[in-house]
Amino acid sequence: MRPVVIAANWKMHTTPADAGELAVAIAGATRQPGVIRVICPPYLSLDAVRRAVADEGIEVGAQNVHHEASGAFTGEVSAAMLAGLATWVILGHSERRRDAGETDALVNRKLARALASGLRPIVCVGEQLADRDAGTAEAVVADQVRGCLAGLDAETLLAGGLVIAYEPVWAIGTGRTASGADAAAMSAAIRSVLAQVGSPALAEATPVLYGGSVTAANVGEFLIEPSIDGALVGGASLKPDEMAGIVARAAVTATARAVVDAASRPAGGGA
């Protein structure tokens, strides 16, 4: 049974002075069973958030990491620098691709570094509006998945807990969202590629999240789809009430999956 994951991407919001308070508020509002909660604040707020949620069962992630272990890379942050501060990392977010020129090849190198360093990766993929209008959205995303995972074997990806976040670029920060059916179709396409480049086991085990103007009001449309395993939340993740609604709906999915999983087990409690 794949886990249900709600990851909060705070982007360039909060400071070390206020991040802990916000994290505490979100932690208190999202105490739900069966949901993996991850908060990804800016680098400078990582320690404040880590300390604030140390006893809350919330995991902490970084928004990026450099592909090299160390070196003359002014302003960059290595995986070693994140040790003790974060256990997750977002890679290849559309804003990094747009503003920093990140390519699939670069994301691939970052993914390899994250896996080698024990950081659980959330690899972001997604099409532009022109791709969707041209009918090539699934092909574009499939190519991104292949490029990001190139040269990495299924066993390594499974052991590292790979997560894929599908974020249609045209739906980020615009108030527009893909439909649940659109996201489910893309999830199926992603899993097809995972099976081809990795293994059927990798395709089955890898959580696929939806990201793109996720709110408490619309998250249910995505989580009702069996192939969608959670959400990468942007602007709404800065609002405790919104996060409460999102995680509560995610808990419904997690509970339903646990019931189905239990019912599918052989009599006598066998695995």
Q: Which of 59, 93, 102, 242 is catalytic?
A: 93
Predicted confidence at residue 172, as pLDDT, reads 78
Predicted confidence at residue 174, as pLDDT, reads 72
Domain boundaries, the chain: 4-263
Predicted confidence at residue 235, as pLDDT, reads 95
Q: What is the pLDDT of residues 209-248, one digit of tens each?
A: 999 889 999 999 999 999 999 999 999 999 999 999 999 9
Angle at which helix 180-197 crosses helix 137-149, to 10 degrees, equals 40
Q: What is the CATH number of domain 4-263?
A: 3.20.20.70
Here the tokens at position 208 are 């696929």
Predicted confidence at residue 271, as pLDDT, reads 45
Cβ-count burial 228-255 (b if 16+ within 10 Å, e if not)? bbbbbbbbbbbbbebbbbbbbbbbbbbe
Q: Going by DSSP bridges, is the β-strand pair 35-40/4-9 parallel, antiparallel, or unpaired?
A: parallel
* 167 is known as an active-site residue: yes
* 67 is known as an active-site residue: no
Q: Which of 167, 221, 225, 242 is catalytic?
A: 167
Predicted confidence at residue 158, as pLDDT, reads 98
**Residue 113 predicted with pLDDT over 50:** yes
Our separate counts of H helices and E strands in the chain read 11, 8
In whole angstroms, give the CA distance from residue 5 to residue 38.
Answer: 8
CA atoms within 13 A on the CB side of 133: 5
In whole angstroms, give the CA distance from residue 223 to residue 35.
Answer: 12
| Mean pLDDT on 167-189 | 88
Query: Please, which pLDDT band fits residue 171 given cuts at 50, 70 and 90?
Result: confident
In whole angstroms, give the CA distance from residue 165 to residue 171.
Answer: 13
Here the tokens at position 132 are 């969707």
| Mean pLDDT on 242-263 | 96
Does the model's pTM come out above 0.85? yes
Q: What is the pLDDT of residues 5-53, one digit of tens each?
A: 999 999 999 999 999 999 999 999 999 999 999 999 999 999 999 999 9
Give the Cβ contact number of residue 270 at 10 Å: 6
Predicted confidence at residue 124, as pLDDT, reads 98
Predicted confidence at residue 170, as pLDDT, reads 87
